[in-house]
Amino acid sequence: MVGERNNSAGSEIEILFLSSCNKASGDFGEHTPFQTVIVKIWLNYNLTCDTNIWGKSRLRFIKKLDHLTKKGMHMNDNIYEKLRERIDSYSVGFSATPSGIEIKILQKIFNPVEAEIYLQMERKLETAETIARRVGQDTEIVGDILRGMTAKGLTFPRTKAGVKYYAAAPFMHGFFEHIAVKGMDKELAKMFEDYRWGGFIPKTKTLRTVPINVSIDSHKPVMPYDDVKKIVEGKVRIGLFPCACAAVMKVLETKCDKPFDVCIGFDYYAEYAIEEYGVGRWITREEALDVLRRSEEAGLVHQVGGDRRNVEAICNCCSDCCGILKAFKMLPNPAKYSGSNYISCLDANYCNLCEVCIDRCPMGAIAVGTDSVIINTERCIGCGLCTTTCPTEAITLAMKPEDKIKLPPSPDRYTFMRSSLDYDKDVE
């Protein structure tokens, strides 16, 4: 473990030092925050060398560390498998694949010391002091490492009354989205795509499809949790962000002409992204409603995240970029998995076979028939996009039968996005 002086001191310094050698400026006064951690750990273990540690004494320092390593002071060889197992226990998981690409991803975004720190973190917000006690290391050192991890998108951070808090970020919603919107290189973007379509099996449902803001052909009113307008009108803290999935596709140079800044976060999910990560911006309710309108016009699907206590986000998703919708399209029966309480209905007497709805449907649920289009209800996810451009109003949305209605998930059954209510309790 990181704080065990008799078992891992040499190697943790070695790992930190070597991971920073390519960044070293050669001037002790111009070291990076990550190099500051190295200096503190080095001094903490009373290793001697010249003042200019990035210059003349670098080789001597490495030789000293090599000597310590040969005495058995080394990091656990399977640290990344332990890390994968921990991440796999959160949210959608981080399942192992035959190719092992998931380990390569972790090796690219976590250094071994960050992996050790992550293993001592929890999904709830905690101070650096609390985490440091668990690690068995100096609070200032662990705080510096946590700040570095946050800069890389590996934590959920928060600041309250001048005190910093950190929680472990799962794969999704978590470090995948953080890294995507903060800036992901092409190599990592390709690795994530290979992983998501090369054996990754999500453990839980993520987002739930809700209809666009149109009238519903039903004697029952639209429930508040299915009404995007009412969701927005009930929020105070609202943020607008780039779509993480579209950001990855952009790096991979796929062509998509859909709007990019269309994901709406609420409460803690707006606060930490804007205030801690510097991503996105605060918007008003009116601006949020305008984003929904523009998204509908562009053919994007509304999907909400959150348990039945609180909606955390409305993602406006492109079926060519969104991982969830792309997965749905591969299935023979997307309707079963979308979580929508609505379905498109056709009055064939009014259909003029203009075929506009065929282009609008993100699931390919509509096809040309003899005298009218045909809707495959097994493929319809109830998004309502086909209804807004039907010139004869032949297609409408209807609520599913009572026994098919699904409530938002209960807190104990929804782990994709930890509730803002719970994050607020962490820092009370």
Q: Single out the residue in 299, 327, 355 at which a domain terminates.
A: 327
Tokens of 380: 């319809």
Residues 228 and 318 in one domain: yes
The reply to whether 201 falls in a domain is no
* CA–CA gap between residue 273 and residue 270 (Å, rounded): 6
For residue 330, how far is the Cα from the chain centroid?
22
- pLDDT for 225: 79
User: Sign of torsion, CA 316 322 323 325?
Assistant: positive
Write the pLDDT tens digit of every residue in 238-278.
999 999 999 999 999 998 899 999 999 999 999 999 999 99
Residue 298 pLDDT exceeds 50 = yes
Domain coverage including residue 111: 79-196
Which residues, in sequence order, are CB contacts of 425 under 8 Å at separation 6+?
A: none
- Shared domain for 38 and 145, answered yes or no, is no
Which is more confidently placed, 256 or 20? Answer: 256
In a domain, residue 315? The reply is yes
- Residue 217: inside a domain, yes or no? yes
Q: Is the pLDDT of residue 311 over 90?
A: yes
* pTM of the full structure: 0.81
What are the φ and ψ backbone dihedral angles of 263, each rounded to 5 degrees? -95, 130
CATH number for 120: 1.10.10.10
Same domain, 353 and 397: yes
Whether residues 318 and 212 share a domain: the answer is yes
Tell me, what's the pLDDT at 255?
A: 83
Residue 214: what pLDDT? Answer: 61
Q: Is residue 169 part of a domain?
A: yes
22 pLDDT more than 60: no
Matching residue, tokens 């039907």: 390
Average pLDDT for the chain: 84
Is the domain of 92 the same as that of 153? yes
- pLDDT of 220 reads 61
Burial (CB < 10 A; 0-12, 13-18, 19+), residue 392, is exposed
Is there a single domain that holds both residue 240 and residue 138? no
Pair (158, 256) in one structural domain: no
Q: What is the DSSP letter of 400?
A: P
> For residues 309 and 410, what is the distance between their CA atoms, to the nearest angstrom?
8
Give 150's Cβ-side CA count (13 Å radius): 25
Find the mean pLDDT for residues 122-148: 95
> Each residue of 214-225: pLDDT tens digit?
656 555 666 777
Would 25 be classed as within a structural domain? yes
Judgement on whether residues 224 and 260 belong to the same structural domain of the protein: yes
User: What confidence score (pLDDT) does residue 226 get?
Assistant: 87
- Please indicate, yes or no, whether residues 222 and 321 belong to a single structural domain of this protein: yes
* Cis status of the peptide bond prior to 178, with omega within 30 of 0: no
Burial zone of 403 (CB within 10 Å; 0-12 exposed, 13-18 middle, 19+ buried): exposed
What does the alpha-carbon distance between residue 60 and residue 40 come to, in Å, rounded to a whole number? 18
The rounded distance, in Å, linking the Cα atoms of 102 and 109 is: 11
Q: Which of 304, 327, 350 is at the close of a domain?
A: 327
**Considering 70, 94, 123, which residue would you say is the last residue of a domain?**
70
421 in any annotated domain: no
Residues 316 and 371 in one domain: no
Query: Under a CB-based contact definition with an 8 Å cutoff, are residues 399 and 226 in contact?
Result: no
Instruction: Tell me if 412 is assigned to some domain.
Output: no
Does 425 map to a domain? no
Residue 205 — very low, low, confident or very high, per pLDDT cuts 50/70/90? confident
Residue type, 61: F
SS3 (DSSP) at 147: helix
The CATH number of residue 369's host domain is 3.30.70.20
User: Do 291 and 224 sit in the same domain of this protein?
Assistant: yes
Q: Which amino acid is at 213?
A: N
Predicted pLDDT at 184: 93
Answer for the pair 308, 407: CB distance below 8 angstroms, yes or no. yes
Measure Cα distances from 116 to 4, 12, 112, 134, 140 in Å: 12, 10, 6, 11, 16
What pLDDT, on the 0 to 100 scale, is given for residue 41?
43
Residues 188 and 218 in one domain: no
DSSP string, 14-40: HHHHHHHGGG--S-GGG--HHHHHHHH
For residue 60, is pLDDT > 60?
no
Q: What is the mean pLDDT of residues 332-339?
A: 91
Dist CA 158 CA 153 (whole Å):
13
Residue 52: pLDDT over 80: no
**Number of domains observed in the structure of the chain:** 4
101-109 vs 79-88: helix axis angle to the nearest 10?
A: 100
Residues 388-425 pLDDT 10s? 999 999 999 999 998 999 999 999 999 999 999 999 99
Q: If you search the block for the tokens 């490495």, which residue do you land on?
A: 62
